[in-house]
Chains A and B, each alone.
Chain A
Amino acid sequence: MKKFLVLIPVALSGIFCDLHAQIPGMGNGQIHGNFQIDAQYYNPDSAIGAPAVPEKALSNGFGNLIYTNGKFMAGIRYEHYLNVMQGFPVDYKGTGIPYRFATYNNDGLEITVGSSYDQFGSGIVYRAFEDRGLGYDNALDGARVRFTKVKGLAIKGIWGKQRTFFTSSPGIVRGIDGEINLNTLLGHKMDSCKTTFIIGGNFVSRYQIDQNPLLDMPQNVGAWSARMNIIRPKLNLFGEWGYKINDPTLGNNYIYKPGTALFVSATYATKGLGIMVAAKQIDNFGFRSDRDAAGNTAIINYLPALTKQHTYQLAAYYPYATQPNGEISWQAEIGYKFKKGTALGGKYGTSLTLNYSQAHGLDSTELHDEATTALGYETNLFGLGALYFQDVNIEVFKKFSPKFKGTFLTGVLQYNKNVIEGKIGYPIIMTHYAVFDLIFKLNDKLTFRTDLEHMYAKEDFGSWGMALAELTIGEHFFAAAMDQYNYGNKHEELRIHYVNAQAGYYWGTNRIVVGYGKQRAGIFCVGGVCRFVPASNGFTISMTSSF
């Protein structure tokens, strides 16, 4: 109440006084925002394993408001989970304003108080980010400072506590990052140099009180990384190496081994051709602001998966997420465009992308002798452990005529379900998948799209087929129907059709989509975060708007 009373005169002064004119260097203020509201009515369906929901219907939603005035920016996000929808973390309870910030950027010094998102380098030591669709949000609540006064030099500092749902994690996170662009810093002397050199480094520390009755926990845990980026017009080389001191956590079974992470990538790109290769090694590099946290909470760093991010339903059925306790992985991708008028290019050109990725566990030996057992294991740097994941695929995009184009994707994927999902007793699951995504422009007002997919996965649920038909009508309306059919399931009673229909209406920046039908259980991932969504059956509505 006190806070409210204080704000009234501030607000009134905004109404009655010309604040804009009183603050030098500020233009006129503006306010903008966006909203999203989702709701679902759940029918219990024992055949697909969809549970009865006591509330019958659930809803999530949020609204962002951002006020900008010259160099000043402030914002809030209101969120509701009444109650939280199936598949989102159940710790989202009720309503609130967990996100609010104010920033002033004063000639090379930018100060933010409140919530902030940021990342140092590629994020292997520090990354605060959000993905509302996944219910992931580890915003830092505290202060952030960015210093960019000297051209070619960027320094960032952060100090705060991480958001965990509607509270904050017990640890305090402090960090500093510096990046130097040598070419910009040295100015004219480097003008003739076609190669850009960027170096950077950061240090992040977490403080969490030690209340463990059995073990002696380090209260301050430091992690750091150094990075280098060399850029030529066609070539880009990037490498980042990170280290973390001993940090016993629930995630690593409370071992005292220090952690390391290495991430390297190289790309070559020229007209019509793009090549990328990347590799990483992660050894005990989970980093959280709460050593006893599990799941997707209180994570300080970001360890991206080096695999193709599939968007087609059956190709994305078995997604991979980096194993923070230990992994070696690599990826290569080649994209080529066959020119118009060539045999393979045809009249409009053809795009071809080959992608290969593979991930293994570390080659490690458990330590059992009394002097070293607290370290857990030792790693053979050049060895490979068990296969975790492999995906080899080819994607072709072809425009056949102004009215007909299509994408074809096929691949072979291997998936270690025991490691990735924490299950026991599964063999490596081997899948073959194929996708035909065809678009027909029927006339100026009508576009038809069909997405036909098949996946063969003998070791798990057997074969799946999928067909989707989507009609876009005019400028504002679409309707789609889809059936995913697990026709190859070993158990006949589980050969289920997951039929689903959706219709949407959009105008300006508003969109309303309604749907009805069955949704299969699955793991949905964006970026480095995955969540399991249980099967459901029912009516859904989703509304978004921005202004």
Chain B
Amino acid sequence: MQIAAAFLLFTAFTLKQDNLQKLAAVDVKGLDGKIINTGSFSNNGKPIVVSFWATWCAPCKKELNEIAEVYEEWQKETGVKVIAVSIDDARNSPKVKPYVEQQEWTYEVYLDENQDFKRAMNVNNVPHTFVLNGNNEVTWQTNVYNPNGGVEDIYKHVKEAAAAAEKK
């Protein structure tokens, strides 16, 4: 009975649902120790890629390392910003900054140590990557790393988001 009640409540509230999912507003920690609300993520109206990863997740690292090779090009063409959100907890979070520097990533990197942001974005497992348009709305997402052009696929959706932003 409780379930029925809960679902009724939810359906009622969602009849007016927008088409695009907004980025959740949750606190995460920067590598400089500052607490940042994800609602304030900004790239001046240009697209953002938010990628959830962990130091122990091999496919996540493959994906982000692959993007790192073409990131400069992506930025030149579309102005996109990549934000890598680590879900490592206290066991591995001290390893995040050393890994990021070792791989020479130039992404913005945040720690989501107790996975508040992960939960708020309904991420089941890592990797999970979101493409956001200039209004921090999710235009596309994927929860696998596909070695057959998965990274190109992300970029295809970044370009679409960038083109849509320019039209505006």
Residues of A within 8 A of B (CB): 1, 3-4, 7-8, 10-15, 18-20, 27-34, 36, 64-69, 73, 76, 78, 97, 100, 105, 117-119, 122-124, 127, 129-130, 132-133, 148, 154, 181, 184, 196, 198, 229, 231, 236, 238, 263, 265, 267-276, 278, 302, 304-306, 309, 311, 333, 335-337, 351, 353, 407, 437, 439, 441, 444-447, 449, 472-475, 506, 508-509, 511, 527-528, 544, 546-547
Is the Cβ of A304 less than 8 Å from the Cβ of B91? yes
**Does B40 touch A at the CB level, under 8 Å?**
no
Besides A15-B15, A265-B94, A511-B144, 15 other A-B contacts (C-beta < 8 A): A28-B17, A122-B90, A130-B115, A132-B124, A269-B98, A269-B100, A274-B101, A309-B55, A335-B98, A337-B102, A439-B147, A441-B148, A447-B147, A544-B125, A546-B143
**Given the contacts A117-B115, A272-B104, A335-B98, A511 and B143 also touching, CB distance less than 8 Å:** yes
For B58-92 the 0/1 string (1 means CB < 8 A from A) is: 10000000000000000000000000000001111
Q: Show 18 residue pairs from A and B whose CB-CB distance is below 8 angstroms, ordered by the A residue.
A: A10-B9, A14-B15, A20-B16, A29-B13, A30-B22, A31-B10, A32-B121, A67-B14, A78-B3, A97-B6, A124-B90, A129-B115, A229-B33, A270-B101, A309-B91, A311-B58, A337-B102, A511-B143
Chain B residues positioned under 8 Å from A509 (CB to CB): 141-143
Is the Cβ of A73 less than 8 Å from the Cβ of B120? yes
Report the minimum CB–CB distance from A393 to chain B (whole Å).
14
**Given the contacts A28-B18, A276-B98, A271 and B5 also touching, CB distance less than 8 Å:** no
Q: How many A-B residue pairs have CB under 8 A?
A: 222
**Given the contacts A7-B5, A68-B22, A333 and B98 also touching, CB distance less than 8 Å:** yes
Report the minimum CB–CB distance from B13 to chain A (whole Å).
5
Chain A residues positioned under 8 Å from B150 (CB to CB): 475
Q: How many angstroms between the C-alpha atoms of A10 and B10 in the bound complex?
A: 11
Is the Cβ of A276 less than 8 Å from the Cβ of B14? no
Is the Cβ of A547 less than 8 Å from the Cβ of B122? yes
Report the minimum CB–CB distance from B74 to chain A (whole Å).
18
Q: How many angstroms between the C-alpha atoms of A238 and B97 in the bound complex?
A: 13
Is the Cβ of B102 less than 8 Å from the Cβ of A36? no
B148's partner among A124, A306, A475, A547 (CB-CB below 8 A) is A475
Report the minimum CB–CB distance from B163 to chain A (whole Å).
21
Interface of A is mostly: strand
Closest to A16 in B: B12
Residues of B within 8 A of A (CB): 1-6, 8-18, 21-22, 24-25, 27, 32-35, 55-58, 89-92, 94-95, 97-104, 113-116, 119-125, 128, 141-144, 146-150, 153
Is the Cβ of A29 less than 8 Å from the Cβ of B2? no
Report the minimum CB–CB distance from A191 to chain B (whole Å).
14
**Given the contacts A30-B22, A196-B33, A475-B146, A271 and B104 also touching, CB distance less than 8 Å:** yes
Chain B residues positioned under 8 Å from A1 (CB to CB): 1
Chain A residues positioned under 8 Å from B89 (CB to CB): 123, 129, 302, 304, 527-528
Is the Cβ of B120 less than 8 Å from the Cβ of A66? yes
Q: How many angstroms between the C-alpha atoms of A270 and B104 in the bound complex?
A: 8
Is the Cβ of B91 less than 8 Å from the Cβ of A31? no
Is the Cβ of A11 less than 8 Å from the Cβ of B9? yes
Chain B residues positioned under 8 Å from A271 (CB to CB): 101, 104
Q: How many angstroms between the C-alpha atoms of A441 and B148 in the bound complex?
A: 8
Report the minimum CB–CB distance from A62 to chain B (whole Å).
10
Chain A residues positioned under 8 Å from B32 (CB to CB): 196, 231
B146's partner among A196, A275, A472 (CB-CB below 8 A) is A472
Is the Cβ of B149 less than 8 Å from the Cβ of A231? no
Q: How many angstroms between the C-alpha atoms of A231 and B91 in the bound complex?
A: 19
Is the Cβ of B143 less than 8 Å from the Cβ of A69? no
Is the Cβ of A446 less than 8 Å from the Cβ of B102? no
Report the minimum CB–CB distance from B63 to chain A (whole Å).
13
Q: How many angstroms between the C-alpha atoms of A238 and B95 in the bound complex?
A: 13
Closest 6 CB pairs of A and B: A274-B98, A14-B12, A304-B91, A269-B101, A335-B102, A11-B12
Is the Cβ of A475 less than 8 Å from the Cβ of B101? no
Q: How many angstroms between the C-alpha atoms of A517 and B93 in the bound complex?
A: 36
Q: How many angstroms between the C-alpha atoms of A436 and B18 in the bound complex?
A: 47
Is the Cβ of A65 less than 8 Å from the Cβ of B148? no
